[in-house]
Amino acid sequence: MTQTASSRRPGVLGVHSLDHFCLSVPDLPVAGAFYAAFGLEIRADGAKLGLYTAGSAHRWGVLTEGPRKQLHHISFGAFAEDFPRLRDRIEQSGTLRLDSPPGFDSDGLWFRDVDRTLLEVRVAEKSSPDRKASFENSSVPAGERGAPYRSNAPRIRPRRLSHVLLFTGDIGKTITFYQNILGLRLSDHCGNGIAFMHGIHGSDHHVIAFARSTAPGLHHCSWDVGSVNEIGLGAMQMATAGFGAGWGMGRHVLGSNYFHYVRDPWGSHSEYSADIDYIPADVDWHSSDHPPEDAMHLWGPEMPADFVFNYEATEAKLRS
Ligand SMILES: [Fe+2]
């Protein structure tokens, strides 16, 4: 994928992709083992670990060691020709520009959102897809066996990062910030409890979402796979590796994706996601406020009581 071939909406200014996320974790080998079991490729990058998907050179996630699990930063990708105007917009908004954090040399624009979550905007190739991802729903003719033997079940390897869900102290202020500074657009929301935002140059229904909490934090990262069958196989793959806790399988209402969430060693989650709604660059998505019963799932098991719990806030409080 090259920048010249990427979809873009003319006449508007905004980032095109969620480029990557970065997590501090207390034990890098434990984190690397979790994401490797999930089906990602783990590559050492100095003292950090990079998260990659098979066959892609894009680094979707970075793990760095810290005293506790904590969201380190979120990085967004922008077209090179938009970068100076995005810089001007950030500065004119009164948002304080920061130096890149120690160990993260970059030419990006660093600043904090309304929850003081560290953000970066950098020039990057568009990693948000230009079209809806393929989705397989295959069957076989009568007289043939459709399922492989379990001993031949394929190893599941996600295709790309789809989105992250962050905690925020104020959904309304956060939506306004990400609209005005980054140019994202609101896809759907449920009152001031949860909100989903997409990129203006063609992206999934949400590249970033927010759930209300008392403090910032990462709730989950979501990875695209190609079928419901792959979600089920991924869930089995993780249960076999000792990561059986989570939520799923089910289907979301907002975003429409089929899902299974796997709980990581720190109480946040990684999601296998398939067939999420796609918003092309030339489509104005009708954003709506939905009642709580439509906010989470169309079908599936009941959500675990502690599923939307901000363990980062709890740990920060315990250590303060
Ligand atoms: Fe998700």
- Distance, in Å, from the CA atom of 101 to the CA atom of 76, rounded to the nearest integer, reads 16
How many whole angstroms from 26 Cα to the centroid of ligand 1?
24
Cβ–Cβ < 8 Å for 208, 255 = no
How many whole angstroms from 220 Cα to the centroid of ligand 1?
7
Predicted TM-score (pTM) of this structure: 0.96
How many whole angstroms from 81 Cα to the centroid of ligand 1?
31
How many whole angstroms from 228 Cα to the centroid of ligand 1?
15
How many whole angstroms from 144 Cα to the centroid of ligand 1?
35
How many whole angstroms from 143 Cα to the centroid of ligand 1?
38
How many whole angstroms from 163 Cα to the centroid of ligand 1?
6
How many whole angstroms from 99 Cα to the centroid of ligand 1?
31
Structure confidence by residue, pLDDT tens digits, 271-318: 999 999 999 999 999 999 999 988 889 999 999 999 999 999 876 665
- Per DSSP bridges, beta strands 217-224 and 269-274 are parallel
What is the structure's pLDDT at 3? 43
The encoded tokens of residue 80 equal 């090179």
What is the structure's pLDDT at 2? 44
What is the structure's pLDDT at 131? 96
Q: How many CB atoms lie within 10 A of CB 121?
A: 25
How many whole angstroms from 198 Cα to the centroid of ligand 1?
13
**Using omega within 30 degrees of 0 as the cis cutoff, is the peptide bond preceding 249 cis?**
yes
Q: How many CB atoms lie within 10 A of CB 101?
A: 15
DSSP string, 241-253: TT---EEEEEEES
- Distance, in Å, from the CA atom of 270 to the CA atom of 263, rounded to the nearest integer, reads 7
- Per DSSP bridges, beta strands 208-212 and 160-168 are parallel
How many whole angstroms from 204 Cα to the centroid of ligand 1?
11
What is the structure's pLDDT at 82? 98
**Digitized pLDDT (tens) for each residue of the chain, 320 residues in all:** 444 579 999 999 999 999 999 999 999 999 999 999 999 999 999 999 999 999 999 999 999 999 999 999 999 999 999 999 999 999 999 999 999 999 998 999 999 999 999 999 999 999 999 999 999 998 999 999 999 999 999 999 999 999 999 999 999 999 999 999 999 999 999 999 999 999 999 999 999 999 999 999 999 999 999 999 999 999 999 999 999 999 999 999 999 999 999 999 999 999 999 999 999 999 999 999 999 988 889 999 999 999 999 999 876 665 55
Distance of CA 137 to the CA centre of its chain: 24
- Distance, in Å, from the CA atom of 234 to the CA atom of 232, rounded to the nearest integer, reads 5
Question: Which residue, 39, 241, 76, is CA-closest to 159?
Answer: 39
How many whole angstroms from 257 Cα to the centroid of ligand 1?
8
How many whole angstroms from 316 Cα to the centroid of ligand 1?
24
